[in-house]
């Protein structure tokens, strides 16, 4: 059964990595993985929390950072080091079947830290601000989802790595978001 899942995962990887290859994705998706690209969004978020909620916003911002830290530690230290799945870009059996679009990391593949971390952020924010409307929820999922998808497209993760990172990050971000919304509800500063 596990072999069947792994074979399907590799086939889906090839369908995304090579089958969906196009100039737009080649130009945009490698950049979506870069933290520097998202720095203005993170700065905006920190400013928004401080300007609108002052001390509670600062506490929630720290909670958001802790949520990402827990997702990153769980994915990168606990899961990856125990599962030890080789990245597709480091797998000799995949070398001739894939396109490398970014340098390949030396670490393990399962689960995707990028997926876990960004979905931890998205889920945390959806719990806190999802009441503002569907557009916010969709935007948060689209943002984090595009980063998760890019991990597969550029060749550093298999789809199952990204999906399990999404699930892990969503669970951690959702639970921590609920805890913070219960203990530190956000009310606009006067």
Lowest mean pLDDT among 2-6, 63-67, 164-168, 186-190: 186-190
What's the pLDDT tens digit per position in 133-185?
A: 889 999 999 999 999 999 999 999 999 999 999 999 999 999 999 999 888 87
Strand locations in 15-164 (E): none
- pTM score, two decimals? 0.91
Task: Say if 158 falls within a structural domain.
Answer: yes
Write down the pLDDT at residue 188.
Answer: 60
Task: Say if 11 falls within a structural domain.
Answer: no
Task: Say if 23 falls within a structural domain.
Answer: no
Task: Say if 44 falls within a structural domain.
Answer: yes
Task: Say if 25 falls within a structural domain.
Answer: no
**75, 53 in Cβ contact below 8 A?**
no
Number of compact structural domains in the chain: 1
What's the pLDDT tens digit per position in 30-74?
A: 999 888 888 998 999 999 989 988 888 899 899 999 999 999 999
Task: Say if 31 falls within a structural domain.
Answer: no
CA nearest neighbour of 112 among 150, 140, 57: 150
Instruction: Give the structural domain span for 121.
Output: 36-181
CA nearest neighbour of 89 among 101, 77, 75: 101
Q: How far apart are CA 144 and CA 74, in angstroms?
A: 18
Task: Say if 159 falls within a structural domain.
Answer: yes
Task: Say if 98 falls within a structural domain.
Answer: yes
What's the pLDDT tens digit per position in 96-127?
A: 899 999 999 888 999 999 999 999 999 999 99
Q: Classify residue 110 as exposed, middle or buried by CB count within 10 Å of its CB (0-12, 13-18, 19+).
A: buried
């Amino acid at each position: 059964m596990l072999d069947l899942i792994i074979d399907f995962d590799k086939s889906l990887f090839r369908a995304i990595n090579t089958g969906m290859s196009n100039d737009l994705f080649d130009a945009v998706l490698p950049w979506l993985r870069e933290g520097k690209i998202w720095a203005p969004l993170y700065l905006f978020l920190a400013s928004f929390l401080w300007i609108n909620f002052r001390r509670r916003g600062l506490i929630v911002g720290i909670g958001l950072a802790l949520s990402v830290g827990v997702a990153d530690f769980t994915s990168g230290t606990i899961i990856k080091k125990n599962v030890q799945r080789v990245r597709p870009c480091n797998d000799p059996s995949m070398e001739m079947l894939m396109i490398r679009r970014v340098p390949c990391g030396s670490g393990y593949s399962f689960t995707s830290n990028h997926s876990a971390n960004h979905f931890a952020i998205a889920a945390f924010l959806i719990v806190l601000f999802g009441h503002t409307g569907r557009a916010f929820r969709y935007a948060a999922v689209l943002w984090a989802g595009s980063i998760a998808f890019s991990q597969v497209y550029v060749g550093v993760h298999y789809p199952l790595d990204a999906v399990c990172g999404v699930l892990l990050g969503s669970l951690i971000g959702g639970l921590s978001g609920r805890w913070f919304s219960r203990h530190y509800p956000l009310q606009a500063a006067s």
